[in-house]
């Protein structure tokens, strides 16, 4: 599939998903998301036990906002068919499909972003019907398929624009709440975005997640 056709398909997907979301009064389209169980909650913060799942990931340089946008484009091309063979898989949102050599992979949510050194790691969860052996192989060498192990994370959910100031505000809330409850955050936080960029900012579901441990 040509780069221009893939770019058009990515744009069409975002527009269609946005239209579906608006038609439903802002509800999330039924994307598959990582499975978790809430074990405890402290006000706006939940402690979640996540099951293991597969992701496609890519490392991107840039600041918080530009890196997320660049990584999304790279991974979106992969799920739209920029990969080596496999069965055709219907998109979650109703898009027009045409024959291609690559497999199309259903959209999932959220798109996650985590700092690693001087870059950010952007991830798309892969549908649970796939294993590492059955997922189409990316054509782009910047994309890697990895398994995220089962883990327990603390999460805070918020709406609003995808700005660094909004992110920092809720990251501080997450950390302050954990410390008030006797926990200490561990490692780099993960920024999760569940909605397409055309969804109104006040309807968006955003989250920040972090590992943690009891304070000694």
Residues in the chain: 216
Residue that is written with structure tokens 């959220």 in the block: 110
**Per residue in 139-198, pLDDT tens?**
999 999 999 999 999 999 999 988 889 999 999 999 999 999 999 999 999 999 888 778
Task: Tell me the sheet residues that pair with 84.
Answer: 137
Domains belonging to the chain, first-starting first, are 3-214 (3.20.80.10)
**Per residue in 41-52, pLDDT tens?**
999 999 999 999
Q: Which of 38, 39, 116, 124 is nearest to 83 (CA)?
A: 124
**Per residue in 40-99, pLDDT tens?**
999 999 999 999 999 999 998 888 778 888 888 898 888 888 888 644 433 322 222 223
């Amino acid at each position: 599939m040509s780069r221009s056709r893939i770019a058009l398909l990515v744009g069409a997907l975002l527009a269609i998903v946005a239209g579906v979301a608006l038609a439903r009064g802002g509800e999330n389209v039924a994307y598959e998301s990582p499975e978790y169980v809430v074990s405890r909650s402290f006000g706006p913060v939940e402690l979640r036990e996540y099951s293991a799942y597969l992701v496609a990931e890519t490392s991107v340089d840039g600041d918080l906002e530009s890196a997320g946008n660049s990584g999304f484009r790279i991974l979106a091309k992969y799920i739209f068919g920029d990969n080596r063979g496999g069965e055709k898989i219907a998109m979650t949102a109703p898009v027009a499909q045409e024959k291609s050599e690559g497999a199309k992979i259903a959209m999932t949510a959220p798109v996650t972003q985590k700092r690693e050194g001087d870059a950010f790691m952007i991830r798309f969860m892969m549908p649970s019907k796939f294993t590492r052996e059955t997922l189409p192989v990316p054509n782009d060498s910047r994309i890697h398929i990895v398994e995220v192990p089962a883990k327990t994370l603390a999460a805070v959910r918020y709406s609003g624009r995808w700005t660094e100031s909004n992110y920092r505000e809720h990251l501080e809330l997450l950390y302050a709440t954990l410390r008030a409850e006797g926990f200490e955050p561990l490692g780099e936080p993960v920024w999760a975005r569940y909605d397409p960029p055309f969804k109104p900012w006040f309807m968006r579901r955003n989250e920040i997640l972090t590992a943690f441990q009891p304070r000694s």
